[in-house]
């Protein structure tokens, strides 16, 4: 043990610290949480995060946080983040993310089973929640073929207010 302590002196300790900080900085410090949704019982939280790189080569990930522990339950790369929303139906959360270039993330996770479940189990709850949270009008729904998930999807030829409203709602929230 004494030899190990002698080994970790001076320049070696500094180099080790720099290596650890560099690795952590390249993996975790580049992520920014852009959306959160707390479970009804307060035991868990969904976090949608985007990588802070510029342009459509960025990544998006969905993380589940329970206390001090967190895990990535879905991710995509080559994204240009646009919109995110989650809705809880008891212990199951449904998450919708529009990554523009990389497409969508549509997932559902059961806290009770600690496993992914079909998105269809909470899809209607996610749709209703988007309509309620963003006050989606009848006219906007008609234009989106009656589907709030279509309304929330970025369209370069017909820019709906979904992305702008999302940024207004969540730009100041952790």
DSSP H helices in the chain? 2-7, 11-27, 123-134, 138-143, 148-151, 162-170
Question: Taking 90 as the threshold, does the pLDDT of residue 99 lie above it?
Answer: no
Mapping DSSP to helix (H, G, I), strand (E, B) and coil, where does residue 153 land? coil
Q: Is residue 162 scored above 70 in pLDDT? A: yes
The residue with greater pLDDT, 63 or 99, is: 63
In a domain? residue 103: yes
In a domain, 75, yes or no: yes
Q: In whole angstroms, give the CA distance from residue 11 to residue 158.
A: 58
Domain count of the fold of the chain = 1
Half-sphere exposure in the Cβ direction for 9 (13 Å, CA) = 6
pLDDT of residue 23: 42
Confirm whether 69 is domain-assigned: yes
pLDDT grade, residue 55 (50/70/90)?
low
Q: pLDDT exceeding 70 applies to what percent of the chain? A: 75
Q: What is the mean pLDDT of residues 81-100?
A: 94
Residue 89 belongs to some domain of the structure = yes
- 85 beta partners: 96
pLDDT at 90: 94
The verdict on residue 6 lying in a domain is no
132 lies in some domain: yes
- The answer to the question of residue 11 being in a domain is no
By three-state DSSP, how is residue 67 classified?
A: coil
Question: Does residue 158 belong to any structural domain of this protein?
Answer: yes
Full-model pTM: 0.78
If you average pLDDT over every residue of the chain, what do you get? 83
| Residue 136 per-residue DSSP state | -
Burial class (CB in 10 A: 0-12, 13-18, 19+), 126: buried
Domain carrying residue 137: 32-170
Residue 167: which pLDDT band, with cuts at 50, 70 and 90?
A: confident
């Amino acid at each position: 043990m004494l030899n190990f302590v002698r080994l970790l002196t001076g320049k070696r300790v500094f180099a080790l610290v720099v290596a650890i900080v560099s690795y952590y900085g390249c993996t975790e410090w580049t992520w920014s949480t852009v959306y959160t949704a707390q479970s009804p019982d307060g035991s868990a939280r969904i976090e949608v995060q985007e990588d802070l790189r510029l342009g459509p080569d960025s990544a998006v990930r969905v993380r589940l946080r329970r206390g001090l522990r967190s895990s990535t339950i879905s991710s995509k790369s080559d994204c240009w983040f646009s919109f995110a929303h989650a809705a809880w139906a008891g212990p199951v959360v449904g998450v919708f993310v529009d990554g523009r270039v990389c497409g969508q993330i549509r997932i559902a996770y059961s806290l009770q089973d600690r496993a992914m479940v079909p998105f269809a189990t909470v899809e209607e709850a996610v749709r209703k929640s988007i309509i309620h949270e963003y006050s989606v009008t009848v006219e906007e729904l008609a234009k989106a073929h009656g589907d709030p998930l279509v309304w929330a999807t970025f369209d370069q030829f017909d820019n709906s207010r979904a992305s702008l409203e999302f940024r207004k709602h969540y730009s100041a929230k952790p």
